[in-house]
Amino acid sequence: MILIRGMHLPFLTAAAILVLRILQPARAGTYVEAASLMDSLIVESGYKPQLRPLWNQSDTLEVYLVFELFSIVEVNDVFQSFTCNGFMAFLWHDQLLRWNASDYGGEFLMTPKSTDVFRPRVALLNTMGERDIFKDDTAPVLVRPNGLTSWVPGSIFHVSCKLDLTNYPFDEQTCKLDMVVMDFPPNMLTFVALSETASKSFFIENGEWQLMSTKVQTESLAVNDDPVSSIVVTFTMRRKSKFLVISVLLPIVLLSLLNLFVFVIPVHSGEKISFGITVLLALSVFMSIISAMLPRSAESMPLMIRYIFSLLMISLITVVDSIIIVRLHHMEEKGEQLPQTTATESRHFSSLVPKVVIPRSRQSASPLGIFRVSLENKDSRSGSGSRSSSSLSEVTGKGQPKANKYKMVRKHIDLVSLVLFGIVWVAVTAEFMISVS
């Protein structure tokens, strides 16, 4: 026997075995001899592909395997699925397909139809598509004179994978391919992994995920209380977060930082509230974008969603704070405009006083007296206006406008809010960075 259980030599991989077996010098007979070989071993011998190829059916058939990974096709965060492209190399000894090469013109290789010989039927337990993944596979079966048989079927493995998105987009995920034997219990057919890791001879890197490690192990599982031999291929991957950091996370951090400058914008510019609302809407858009990239019913809330929600609440509070500041500003303007209006009305009223008093003067009976009184009133109009204004101020009790306290309160609120929300922003951002690191 060429393959030995527990053998860990470097050349014991499926690719190496197949290459060495196929490329080694081999002699071949004529077409008639090859057809005679196939007829004698498969047709005339009554070969049954449903039975294990063992003369003693009480023995256990050992099937050796190696998983060849070609590429990671997709890791879907929303549907919680994992898709990869790979081949599974199966090797076993078929005791019924043995011959003496010299009897058939030196024929050292037989390639029967895959459905005419025994093949292990494997079911993918956690699949999201076809469960019997290799049933229609037409990969060739290669048989050597000593009965060594190799079969290398390939497929796109689309399986469900429970993802932990707590540290998204700085997360690591572990996905598995769970395969079991469909026809025989472990005492009749068992799998043996030639390598503890998946082969990556032809592996193509994924643009979104970095493959950290792989693991191939065989074990016995209980399916409906019946033990079955299983193959578990485990992939550990780390997300390449550079794209998401530049396109999503960094703009969110900068937008939230801009949100603090709402307290620096002058109130009289009229852009204080609109600026805060613009930043609030921008954060809402980014939150909706990230929510569309994540599953709707995640068991663990991503820290990034919590971080954006915290920034959203900070932005909302800053808008409310800005509305209060603008309201205080308008209350201040109302307090200053009332004394100014009263003084204007007083001056206007005093300018009308001489016109009312002159016709009632008894000393202006003659035209000369009327002319003299008019000149006196004309010369003293400005002085009379000032005295009348002062008299009116004394009567009404209105003095010069006092300093409005709302102005001082508004300035303090702006300053305190800038410092307070700045500290909160630094604390929330630092907590998020520490949590995902």
As a whole number of angstroms, the distance between CA 99 and CA 44 comes to 14
As a whole number of angstroms, the distance between CA 88 and CA 4 comes to 19
Torsion (CA) 6, 11, 14, 16 in degrees, nearest 10: -170
As a whole number of angstroms, the distance between CA 350 and CA 236 comes to 92
Residue 405 pLDDT: 66
As a whole number of angstroms, the distance between CA 137 and CA 53 comes to 20
Residue 232 pLDDT: 94
Which three-class secondary structure state does DSSP give residue 21? helix
Residue 86 pLDDT: 93
Report, as ranges of residue numbers, the positions in the chain whose pLDDT lies below 50. 1-25, 333-338, 341-343, 346, 349, 352-353, 355-399
**What DSSP designation does 42 have?**
I
- Reported as half-sphere exposure (CB side, CA atoms, 13 A), residue 221 has a value of 15
Partnered with residue 154 across adjacent β-strands are 87
Name the nearest CA neighbour of 138 among 124, 155, 125, 123. Answer: 155
- Reported as half-sphere exposure (CB side, CA atoms, 13 A), residue 333 has a value of 8
Helices 250-258 and 303-357 pack at an angle, to 10 degrees, of 20
Other CB atoms within a 10 A radius of the CB of residue 385 amount to 19
As a whole number of angstroms, the distance between CA 183 and CA 241 comes to 44
**What DSSP designation does 403 have?**
P
**Are 116 and 47 a contacting pair, CB within 8 Å?**
yes
Name the nearest CA neighbour of 425 among 279, 248, 236. Answer: 279
Other CB atoms within a 10 A radius of the CB of residue 168 amount to 24
Q: Tokens 């202006």 — which residue? A: 364
Residue 391 pLDDT: 44
